[in-house]
Structure formats: C-alpha cells, structure tokens
Amino acid sequence: MRKKFSLDSISDVQFEDYCYDLLESMGFVNLDWRKGTGKGSSSSDSGRDLECEYIVTDPDGTVHVQKWYVECKHYTRGVPATVIANALTWAGADRPDVLLLIASNHFSNPTKDHIKSYKENNKPAFRIKTWELPDLERHSKSKPLLLRKYGLETNTEILDLMHPAHLEYIKSPKLNRLKTLFDLLDELEAKDRDDITGWLWGLLLKPRSREPRNKNETMGDLLLDPVDYPTFKKKCFEIAVLESMDDILLCHFIANFLLQELFSQGDITSIDAQVERHRDTVEFIKDLSVREPERFSSAESVDDTIKRFTDNINALPQRIVRWHELYNIFCEKVVAQLLDEDIFANVEIEKS
C-alpha cells in the first residue's frame, strides 16, 4: 500500500525548516527566518515565522516583487483560531502583499470562519492564503530531494519493484547496437515478445486506417497496413539506414521506452488505487446518467458503458500482474544482456 503523506512525525522546528525549503524550491527569494529556533538568529518572530519575496512578471515584461509573510503551524489536529491572531495583527500593521498561513494538517472550522470574518470586516490590503496538508503534498510531490530530506517519501516501495538491470541501465548511458537488441528480442517467446514490443508498433509504423463500417469493428479491423513484430523490426532498421539515424541512439530509445511503459503498467503497488479509480468512474457514470440523461442516447448505452468499466475492474489486477511479469522478462532476458555488450571490443575484433 502507498504510504500516506503525513508531517506528524517531524518536530515543530523541522516543520518550519521544511516550509522554508519548500518555499525556496518553489522560487521564493530573500527568505528571512524570524525565529532563533530555525535558520535565523532572532528570538522573536514578530507575528510571522518567515519573510520572503516572490517575483512576478507581467505579460509586458514588467517585474513586481511581492512581499510575503509566512506563519507555520505544526499541529496533529486542526489549528485553532487563537494561534493565528498574532499573524493577522502584524500583517495588518506591516501590510505585506500576502500573508500565508501553513498548517501541517488542517485549520479548524472555527479558524476558517475567523479568517473569513476577518476578510469581510477588515478588508485587509493584503491577501490571506492558507495551505493545508493536501496543498503541501501537491507542492512537494515533484521535489524528491525535499521529500527525502524530511523522510516524507510516500512511494518508496516502488523502488523495491525495480529490477536491478533496470536501475543499472538508467544509471548511465549504454551503447548497444540495434542488431543486438533485436537478436535478444527474437529469442523471447513470441507472445511475450509481441506483448512487450507492441507499445511501439503503431508509434513507429504509423499505419493507415479506414473509416469504420459498423460499430462492432475494432481498431485492428480498420488498419490498412500490417502492424506486427516483423514489420516493426524491419521498420526500425530502415529508420537507422534510410533516415541516417544512429542505430545506437535508436536502440537506446526503444529500450528506455519499453522499460518505462512496462514498469508503469506493471506497478503492482497501484492495483488497489487503480481499482478504486475505476469504481469511482462507474459511480460517476451512474450519477451522470440520472442527472443528465441526454448525454446518453439510450439506457442501453449507459449499461454498456458501465459493463465495460466493470469488466475492466475485474480484469485489472490480473492484467497488471501480467505486465509486471513481462517487465521482469524484458529486464532479465534483454536489458541484463545489453549491459554486457561492449561495442568497442567488437570494433577491435573486427579490425584485427
């Protein structure tokens, strides 16, 4: 299961450090820590934990510097209204552009009501923004170094799924010949090979297609050109020769593309989440068919759509497990062998 994003395990000081680093990573500049417990030297925060600036550029190129005051509240429960009063008072006196209130979990309903009332009654010259746990998770998710620093990674278990050959292959560029790659693919069981490489067939072959004649026709029925492994293999060598593309570069692209797709589709840690998303989609369709029946041509079309998603839910776990199996086959029987190729040694042998 995916670990839930939480800031409860870090201390108050660490939370302020985290907020500092997060803001810095988001492009805030001239950060000034107001507390002696953090990255500054002052013993009093004067109503805010952080001061910082954010540079905004207008469409015409005009640059504005916004002054932000930031108050960080590390609570395992809802932040009470009493603890933000000082921040509102100082912001009212100093009038920054923005007062940002950050809660490690959430603000209590009375606090939210207090902020709303303060805005309506005082009409402050500054904007008041609030960030709660979901906001912090969203802002942090693309910053792995930040998450690792504070032990906040939520998906580290996925690293355990990565095959050692995959990790080694992406650690540094590999130089392999296209012929070596296809020699290895040719040795796989035909079904495994086709399932593994099928992701790329249409992308590289760009087959022509015709208009459907009836609703029962599949995408395969509409194709006018062959889309299969032999044609795909032939096309790859044509690209390398006729389009003067370095076959080492093409090999690198194919191997990395297939690793990414197979690993993504075979993420067995996401089975429960994917099933839940599909169930939510089914419920959404049911609700939509009641609220906006005109979106569906008939009751049968609604039932067909729901059945298709339901069938997909039932087949999803087995399908993900199959992709995980194919990922490991590709890593063990293809990628691991690519790691052993030394094209420069081959060149020396040919010269001799």
Q: For the segment 57-70, what is each residue's pLDDT rounded down to a tens digit? A: 988 989 999 999 99
What percent of the chain has a predicted confidence (pLDDT) above 90? 57
Residue 288 and residue 90: Cα distance in Å, rounded?
48
Decide the pairing of beta strands 106-107 and 78-79.
parallel
What pLDDT score was predicted for residue 269?
A: 80
pLDDT tens digits for 88-130?
998 999 999 999 999 999 999 999 999 999 999 999 999 999 9
Domain with CATH 3.40.1350.10 in the chain: 12-155
The pLDDT of 170-176, averaged and rounded, is 83
* 76-86 pLDDT, tens digit each: 999 999 999 99
Q: Does the pLDDT at position 27 exceed 90?
A: yes
Considering only the top CATH level, what class is 12-155?
alpha beta
> What pLDDT score was predicted for residue 247?
85
